[in-house]
A = this chain, B = another copy of it.
Amino acid sequence: MAFVNEDNITDLAIKRWSTAHSPRVAELMTALVRHIHDYAREVELTDQEWMAAIEWLTATGQISNDKRQEFILASDVVGLSMLVVQMNNRFDEKATPATVLGPFHIDDSPAAPFGFDMSEGITGTPLFVTGTVTDTAGAPIPGAVLDVWQADAEGTYEAQMPEIDEARLRAKYQTRADGTYCVRTIAPLGYTIPMDGPVGKLMTNTEISEYRPAHIHFMFEEAGYKRLITHLFQEDTDYLDTDVVFGVKDPLITAFIEHPAGPSPDGKTMDTPFLVAHYDFILQPDH
């Protein structure tokens, strides 16, 4: 009878998990077992470190709820989220690149007309984001839905505000027949990721910057195109090259141009100065 020892345990564990009924689950689990064992052997993991890891994982699960996902945050700050995004979104170079979803997306945002102010009643510098949505050949995509969300001037998302029960700084816009869209919001600011949980506690023992550069989230799920989850970043804003979740890509950076009070991209007139960001999203066909 072959009992376990330090030399044979990895092979025994791999052999067991290779019995998974789905070949893909067997592949995922056997590779996971091998990497976990290799890691433990390489660092000679101690009992105390193992228990600290168990406790960290448990706390990370327990702080998560329907408005906060600490494991996604953990995946973000070790670069795993962005690695997975890139492996699963190998678009043509001319398509708008994808970046991380982040933990703060909320499903079923309300539909909003062209130029709708999704920041109504919230303090900040007025910002219009306007441009077109096209395919990689430059053809406009009429009726494309832009699912938009962002943080407020305090860096807080609706998803972090349990007391809020209506949409706040999020909406679903649609392109017009010519592929143009217009979002009215406030200029986003850089902010720190939540530092009061297990991820933050780990990061305070490093020199890693906890900031994300100012950005607005966009998601597109159009039939006939690859899903695109991305951000727009403000040109020259802080933290672009130290983004804590590794999310910045050059083509996603755009200028926020200052305009005096007067005509605005929604076809109306502003009585205060405002910013305009022009951005053309290019979706990757899914065939």
Contacts and interface: CB of A to CB of B under 8 A. Distances in A.
Interface in A79-96: 79-88, 90
A205 B61 contact: no
A49 interface: yes
Contact of A87 (B36, B40, B69, B250): B40
Contacts of A61: 57-62, 64
B42 A54 contact: no
A85 B86 CA distance: 37
A200 to B, nearest CB: 14
Contacts of A165: none
Nearest to A4: B246
A278 interface: no
A216 B10 CA distance: 25
A88 B206 contact: no
A75 interface: yes
Interface stretch (A24-32, A152-160, A180-188, A255-263): A24-32
Interface in A233-266: 240-241, 246-250
B58 A64 contact: yes
A240 to B, nearest CB: 7
Nearest to A28: B43
Interface stretch (A15-23, A110-118, A267-275): A15-23
A45 interface: yes
Contact of A45 (B2, B3, B38, B84): B84
A107 interface: no
A6 to B, nearest CB: 4
6 contacts: A1-B240, A6-B86, A13-B79, A19-B208, A59-B61, A60-B61
Interface of A: 1-6, 9-10, 12-13, 16-17, 19-22, 25, 27-29, 31-33, 35-47, 49-50, 54, 57-62, 64, 69, 71-72, 75, 78-88, 90, 202, 205-208, 240-241, 246-250
Given A13-B79, A32-B39, A50-B84, 7 more contacts: A1-B240, A9-B82, A12-B246, A16-B208, A21-B207, A57-B60, A61-B61
